[in-house]
């Protein structure tokens, strides 16, 4: 992928910056530009509709993260929304209003969230403004969430006569517990970034203008770690969401074992013995320990 690459079919729906550039405290790229090796930035780009997730946008998003996931030079993905008002205000309600049970069942739309959640590369949502409905579900589908202090999360679907349909009832319940998830889903109440952090589905809250920069810095820190161990850790922690405890512990043990004999395991333990910093392998084609593990 090239810097600021877009696709010809729908050039404005999703933007890609790979490698991403470091941002300053105002959210602007630092000068001179400083590429962050291994970090990709994916921007939902329908700011006038508060980045509402139309079927076309979801498809493009899923394709984009999967392409990045297949690129060995990409070691962490940040997903954000264009503009300052919203990460994403949900699925596109105008489009949803025209659906039937049958058309939805046949639609690949739901798979957009699943496909983002399934990539082996760690993902970070950088949330400013509204993350509602499918937007909150997209943040929940990411591995970590960095939120601006004015961000607002919520599952307002009940106010539309429906329920969360992109994993919200499941991922939210697992992230914050049944009683709290039930209240948010049944009332549609919005929560602030501070409350979301207290509830446990936001990794970190930062001043709004610093959101993207903080998410990119976090991604950069992850991208600098040994890649096979990162992917194993991602798969193991995700397994905690997907499996009973005993099965998750078994998956963790298998992944732990799979790292022994890898160059970075040998280097990491040798560096410890020699009291020096480890020198991890540069990004490149490596086996993916997540295969079949999550
Ligand atoms: N879909 C489509 N357009 C939207 C959406 C949306 N979810 N949210 C905002 N917009 C549009 C508005 O229509 C408006 O467009 P226009 O200027 O052309 O009229 C523009 O964005 C700006 O919005 P507002 O004027 O409403 O801005 P406000 O600041 O007054 O309000 C809110 C901001 C509170 C975020 C408000 O826009 C709102 O409530 N939006 C809808 C939130 C919502 O209900 N989200 C849940 C949608 S359902 C869902 O996500 C289900 C997910 C599972 C689906 C699975 C499908 C396969």
> What is the fold of 226-294?
Lyase 2-enoyl-coa Hydratase; Chain  A, domain 2 (1.10.12)
pLDDT at 270: 97
The reply to whether 224 belongs to the active site is no
Instruction: Tell me the CA distances in angstroms from 198 to 3, 118, 150, 193, one per residue in order.
Output: 36, 26, 15, 9
Residues 252, 253, 256, 258, CA torsion sign: negative
- pLDDT band of residue 110 (cuts 50, 70, 90) is confident
Angle in degrees, CA 65, 68, 70, rounded to 5: 110
Average pLDDT over residues 16-29: 94
Residues 167, 142 contacting (CB under 8 angstroms): no
Residue 11 pLDDT: 52
| Catalytic site residue from 86, 91, 125, 181 | 91
At 289 the pLDDT is 44
From the list 205, 47, 216, 208, the residue with the least C-alpha distance to 135 is 47
How many other CB atoms are found less than 10 A from the CB of residue 65? 26
Residue 96 has pLDDT above 80, yes or no: yes
Supply the pLDDT for residue 70. Answer: 97
Question: How far is the C-alpha of 248 from the C-alpha of 255, rounded, in Å?
Answer: 10
Pick the CATH number of 14-223 from 3.40.50.12160, 1.50.10.10, 3.40.50.300, 3.90.226.10: 3.90.226.10
Verify whether residue 210 is a known catalytic residue. Answer: no
Tell me the best of 89, 100, 105, 106 to mutate to test the pocket of ligand 1, counting ligand atoms within 8 Å of each CB and taking the most: 89
- Residue matched to tokens 């960095």: 146
Task: Please report the pLDDT score of residue 108 as a whole number.
Answer: 86
The number of angstroms, rounded, from the C-alpha of 13 to the middle of its chain's C-alpha atoms is: 17
3, pLDDT greater than 80:
no
Specify the pLDDT at position 283. Answer: 61
Q: What is the mean pLDDT of the chain?
A: 92
Q: Are 7 and 197 in contact (CB under 8 A)?
A: no
Question: Is the per-residue pLDDT at 8 higher than 60?
Answer: no
The single-letter DSSP state of residue 45 is -
**HSE toward the beta carbon, residue 67, CA cutoff 13 A:** 18
The ligand 1 atom at the shortest distance from the C-alpha of residue 156 is 44
Above pLDDT 90, what percent of the chain?
88
Alpha helices by DSSP H, the chain: 55-69, 93-96, 101-106, 111-118, 134-141, 168-176, 178-187, 193-199, 211-223, 227-242, 245-258, 263-273
Q: What is the pLDDT of residues 57-89, one digit of tens each?
A: 999 999 999 999 999 999 999 999 999 999 999
Task: Dump pLDDT digits (tens) for 275-285.
Answer: 999 999 866 44
Question: SS3 for 103?
Answer: helix
**161, pLDDT greater than 60:** yes
Domain boundaries, the chain: 14-223, 226-294
Q: At residue 292, does pLDDT exceed 70?
A: no
> Would the CB of 160 count as within 6 Å of ligand 1?
yes
């Amino acid at each position: 992928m090239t810097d600021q690459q877009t696709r010809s079919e729908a050039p404005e729906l999703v933007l890609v910056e790979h490698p991403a550039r470091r941002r300053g405290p105002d959210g602007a790229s630092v000068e001179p530009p400083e590429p962050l090796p291994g970090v990709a930035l994916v921007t939902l780009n329908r700011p006038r509709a508060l980045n509402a997730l139309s079927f076309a946008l979801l498809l493009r998003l899923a394709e984009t993260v999967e392409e990045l996931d297949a690129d060995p030079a990409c070691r962490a993905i940040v997903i954000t929304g264009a503009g300052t008002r919203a990460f994403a205000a949900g699925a596109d309600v105008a489009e949803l209003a025209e659906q039937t049970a049958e058309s939805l069942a046949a639609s690949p739309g739901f798979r957009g969230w699943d496909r983002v959640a399934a990539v082996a590369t760690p993902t970070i949502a950088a949330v400013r403004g509204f993350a509602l409905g499918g937007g909150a579900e997209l943040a929940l589908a990411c591995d970590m969430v960095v939120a601006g202090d004015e961000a607002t999360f919520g599952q307002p679907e009940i106010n539309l006569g429906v329920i969360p349909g992109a994993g919200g009832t499941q991922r939210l319940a697992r992230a914050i517990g049944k009683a709290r998830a039930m209240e948010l889903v049944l009332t549609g109440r919005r929560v602030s970034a501070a409350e979301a952090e207290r509830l446990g589905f936001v990794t970190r809250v930062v001043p709004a203008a610093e959101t993207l920069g903080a998410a990119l810095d976090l991604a950069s820190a992850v991208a600098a770690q040994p890649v096979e161990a990162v992917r194993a850790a991602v798969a193991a922690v995700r397994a905690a969401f997907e499996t009973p405890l005993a099965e998750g512990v078994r998956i963790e043990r298998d992944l732990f074992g799979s790292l022994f004999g890898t160059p970075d395991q040998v280097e990491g333990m040798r560096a410890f013995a020699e009291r020096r910093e480890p020198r991890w392998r540069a990004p490149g084609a490596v086996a993916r320990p997540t295969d079949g593990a999550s």
